[in-house]
Chains A and B, each alone.
Chain A
Amino acid sequence: MTDNLLKIVNLDIALPDGSERELAVENLNIDLSPGETLCIVGESGSGKSLTARALMGLLPAPHVRVQQGSISFCGEDLTQASEPRMRQIRGSEISMIFQEPMTALNPVMTIGTQIDEVFRYHAEMSSKERRKRAIQLLEDVHLPDPKQIVAAYPHELSGGQRQRAMIAMALALEPKILIADEPTTALDVTTQAQILKLINEMQTMHKSGVLFITHDFGVVADIADRVAVMQYGRVVETGTVDKVLNAPEHPYTKALISSVPSLIPRASRPRSEEIVLSGQKIEKSFGGGKSLFGFGKPNRFVLAVKDVNLELRRGETLGVVGESGSGKSTLARCIIRLLDSNSGKIMLDGTDIGSLGRSDMRPFRAKIQMIFQDPFASLNPRIKVGQIISQGPIIQGEPKERAEARARELLEIVGLDERAFKRYPHEFSGGQRQRIGIARALALDPEILVADEPVSALDVSIQAQILKLLDEIREKMNLSMLFITHDLRVAAQVCDRLAVMRYGEIVETGATKDIFDSPKHSYTRDLLAAVPGQNWDRTTAV
């Protein structure tokens, strides 16, 4: 017997015929000891999630299956285990937490009932004991007022609380292995920091082995003992966290690590003092309306943006950072007039565009353009790329031939082949689609670009390319950019100045370097403290 909790040897997982590649996971060798955290890092499609599912015996059969190799768990080969045996193991000896706690929890059952189920299936306990234990577990994961949370439904909790409840459930039977599949990706940074701390704490308490799947090197630096880097289904490098992060050997690992934006803000550039866009006392609220005949309760009223003042100077990038629900996207949509603000002024070229009607607004549309977050939703799947890009200038009155010629030029500028012109969006990858989105925004020769989380849906290596492209374009065309992001690493590398938003208000503005070096507002300090992998960053920077 070895002292390994888990030993995966030569594991191959086959994909159905006609897939992109034959094997989702190829020749995988991994082991895990008690009390150890192994991080599996990789970009989307690297096979890291399927590995976790194979461990749990939850591969989407019959299409995806283990072709060869063994998964030995305390000496027992899980690939040979019967389904009843797997059911025993799942939840009690190996348990899992998922990325999206809202979909992983059953919305029509209380948290208490769902924890109770785990005990009912796996342990002999009276209902009183089970309830006591459930409350104890919720207390262990630091949920406030566990007695109330036992009776609460998932939708009554916040995202972070739900993830805590999931962790409580996963740890209910003190499993030997905890698999965490991107458990913090859907959470805000401050919540993420708390959850990571909690997982760590639980691990020391229960002495379990943790298999942590993530794409975020910051998280790896904070939590891992050892790291396995996956690419196209293969582990390209394994080693201690220190070795992999600070002295990577494989070129892919090196490339990945060098793509991670540094937390040290870039050198600030000389900037002009000319203000191209300014917002004065912008306010936007949602809801509060009534139904047609005035029956029923009025809708919930939310003040999403309150009293926001900002200035964008020519050639600079102003970052608006904040967590989800802070109103940063709403603010961007008010500025570009996708939403109508309730009050305040949005001054562009000496005109208050906030109060213009649709047809008066049209000439100003060309001056201010937007890049969207989701490259899959932001391009119309039924329209060819060439038309998507040339459409804008044609609407603004340019002749078709000229607009199309310009569209071809733009494709080259954003680094795509000219043949893309006649293709449909679905033929392109996420990164390429984002390039198409950028080309569309540039087609009108705007002065201002509003970028709403333009890289948050992309893998880290693609993210680096898109950020570089945006930087080049901004230099070349002397654009001013309003850059919305939740990622402080990205903000540090892209923005000249920052505005930090919380609950619809800007709590602090200033040069990026000043804010990173000496944050004034307590919330800014919290945000900066929560960014994962800071210590690693400091050491590599020296």
Chain B
Amino acid sequence: MTDFWKRFARNRQAVLGLIILFLVIFVASIANIIYPEDPFLYSKFPLSAPGENGFLLGSDSIGRDVASGISHGAKTSLLIGLIATLAAVFIGVIFGAFAGYYGGFVDDILMRVTEVFQTIPSFVFAILLVAIMKPSIESVVIAITVVSWPAVARLVRGEFLGLKNREFVQACHTLGMGDLRIMLAEILPNCLSPIIVIGSLMVATAILIESGLAFLGLGDPNVMSWGFIISDGRSMLRVAWWICTFPGIAILITVLAINLVGEGLNDALNPRLRERN
């Protein structure tokens, strides 16, 4: 474990990403303390510039505090990213594991199904799903999960294909071990590294999709999120730049931080690939 951290810390950018990510998580977790009131609560001071009337990052067209919105929205974005990714990894691993392990007919069926999902551009597909299901936080999570699991399935299938013929797996067969146990206890631990890496990068993508959906007005109207603030302020961009800018920056640095961490994990978990630099 200490070895792992040493390798991770060798990548300075990854450490920076991790620090930013912790900051974002910290801000999200203290949102209720620093801004105890509802972020949807409007005041008498619409369109205040940053610093005016006690608004750190200004207020929007009906006087809602942008800073409060960003702070509460951080929780939404991170949670959606995390839950959607976990769900996508879960489904992807099951599909990929069965397809790769059994091969042949099972593989053909599962992979053709996966391809159906991959043929539709993912963001358009997500819009379609949310539009059908009614915008709510659940439907957003479901939509993101549905568009992102095929990548995991493909990856896991490839890993399983490579590992299932290794001699240690054959040794398990000769011991009389069952298929499920071989898949879960023997093969899966050996492909955790790439799964962790792709998972971390998927969190970033999920946050982007969520913001995009909220921007188009397909977010949950009752839950504050970064995309929601941007979508609300976009018509006012020329008179009140701060409404769109600050949540935009929040999305940018969060996604960037997660990507850096993902890169760092990749380097630390697959040390041989590091040789290229």
Contacts and interface: CB of A to CB of B under 8 A. Distances in A.
A240 interface: no
Interface stretch (B23-31, B143-151, B165-173): B165-173
A35 interface: no
Contacts of B186: 380, 383
Contact of B166 (A362, A377, A444): A377
A377 B171 CA distance: 10
- Most chain A beta-carbon neighbours within 10 Å: one of B105, B108, B166: B166
Interface string B144-178: 00000000000000000000001110111111110
Interface size class of A (residues with CB under 8 A): 20 to 34
- Most chain B beta-carbon neighbours within 10 Å: one of A378, A382, A392: A382
Nearest to B109: A292
B176 A378 contact: no
Interface string A269-292: 000000000000000000000001
A338 B174 contact: yes
A18 to B, nearest CB: 12
B121 interface: no
B105 A292 contact: yes
A380 B174 contact: no
Contacts of A336: 174
A396 B172 CA distance: 12
A231 interface: no
Contacts of A440: 171, 175
Contacts of A392: 175-176
Contacts of B166: 377-378
A381 to B, nearest CB: 7
Interface stretch (A65-73, A191-199, A244-252, A364-372): A364-372
A380 B177 contact: no
A372 B176 contact: no
A184 interface: no
A365 B167 contact: no
Contact of A378 (B168, B173, B189): B168
Given A378-B167, A381-B190, A370 B176 contact: no
B15 to A, nearest CB: 22
B175 A395 contact: yes
B167 A374 contact: yes
Contacts of A381: 190
A391 interface: yes
Given A370-B171, A382-B190, A383-B186, A362 B105 contact: no
Contact of B174 (A292, A370, A377, A382): A370
Interface SS majority for chain B: helix
A361 interface: yes
B176 A362 contact: yes
B175 A372 contact: no
Contact of B175 (A292, A374, A379, A391): A391
Given A292-B105, A383-B186, A395 B168 contact: no
Interface string B233-249: 00000000000000000
Nearest to A374: B167
Interface string B100-142: 0000010010000000000000000000000000000000000
A396 B174 contact: no
A373 interface: yes
B190 A365 contact: no
B167 A372 contact: yes
B173 A338 contact: yes
B175 A444 contact: yes
Contact of A361 (B105, B168, B171, B176): B176
B177 A395 contact: yes
A444 B171 CA distance: 12
B275 to A, nearest CB: 10
A391 B177 contact: yes
Contacts of A377: 166-168
Contacts of A391: 172, 175, 177
Q: What 4 pairs between A and B have smallest CB-CB spacing?
A: A378-B167, A365-B176, A382-B189, A392-B175
5 contacts: A365-B175, A380-B190, A383-B185, A391-B175, A440-B175
Given A377-B167, A378-B168, 17 more contacts: A292-B105, A337-B174, A361-B176, A365-B174, A368-B174, A369-B174, A370-B170, A372-B170, A378-B166, A378-B167, A379-B171, A380-B186, A383-B186, A391-B175, A395-B177, A396-B175, A440-B171
Interface of A: 292, 333, 336-338, 361-362, 365-366, 368-370, 372-374, 377-383, 391-392, 395-396, 437, 440, 444
